[in-house]
Amino acid sequence: MDREKREETTADLGDVTLDLDRQRRCGFPEVIFGEHKSVETLSATVRGLLAAEQPVLATRVDATKGAALSREFPAGRYNGVARTFRIASDQQAGRIGLVAIVTAGTSDIAVAEEVRETAEWMGAKTDLIVDVGVAGPQRLLAQLHRITIADAVVVVAGMEAALASVVGGHVSCPVIAVPTSVGYGASFGGIAALLGMLNSCAANVSVVNIDAGFKAGYIAGMIAVQKHRVGESGREGEGERRR
């Protein structure tokens, strides 16, 4: 790649080499991992994305950094539970597709909120369904009408994480399972949940890392958004053929 082309696809911000070409290659811009980065570095990266007219998402942003970013970028949205900061681009259209986010317990909400913020930043609609774990199976059954209509489902669960398999047995779409670090001693910080999900007998369940709400939201968002983009392009093509 020649120097001129490289300069068009990256921005040298000193301690960050910002990938401005990722949206073209992968469909969505680079996401900022906020943990261990200074406010100054985060601000410079946000400005770089905005200058390129790309939507902004930063994850693992603590309250102090979130307050500083909110002051500098008043158009942004900081979610203190999810620890995310995002700014929509003027070019983003309305949301399409649907990602259902299902938590086993109320203690899983922080990870679920990271899922929601990520999927919405990508342009997907979301529906958050909280505290329907297997200890009270009737709670899940009462919400199935909201879950079965989704393009992708994210299940967020700690403890033994059985909920992912149960949900997988009720839906005809991909289920992305997120093990959380919620639980007592033998949960080993989410390893028990991870192993339980990896051993799911439901064929439509895939698994991401412990507490990785961003990764699950990203995959689910891609599924939901691209499904509807393909559907819309197919309908447009059919219309052209009919004319």
pLDDT above 70: residue 163: yes
pLDDT above 70 (res 238):
no
For residues 94 and 193, give the distance between their C-alpha atoms in angstroms, rounded to a whole number. 35
**pLDDT at position 237:** 52
Q: Identify the pLDDT of residue 10.
A: 87
What pLDDT, in 10s, does the model give residues 92-132?
A: 667 889 999 999 999 999 999 999 999 999 999 999 999 99
* Statement to judge: residues 220 and 140 lie in one domain: yes
In a domain, 21, yes or no: yes
163 and 220, same domain (yes or no) = yes
| In a shared domain, residues 67 and 158 | no
Contacts of 191 (CB under 8 A, 6+ apart): 179, 210
Contact (CB, 8 A) for 22 and 50? no
* H/E element, 65: helix 63-72
**Count of structural domains, the chain:** 2
Shared domain for 122 and 177, answered yes or no, is yes
237 assigned to some structural domain:
no
d(CA 21, CA 217): 21
Give the tens place of pLDDT for each residue, 134-156: 999 999 999 999 999 999 999 99
Give the pLDDT of residue 12.
83
Q: Indicate whether 242 belongs to any domain.
A: no
Domain coverage including residue 198: 96-228
What pTM does this model have? 0.89
Residues 61 and 135 in one domain: no
Last-in-domain residue among 41, 67, 87: 87
Mean of the per-residue pLDDT values of the chain: 91
Asked whether residue 34 falls in the same domain as residue 137, the answer is: no
Q: Looking at the DSSP assignment, which residues form a beta bridge with residue 87?
A: 56
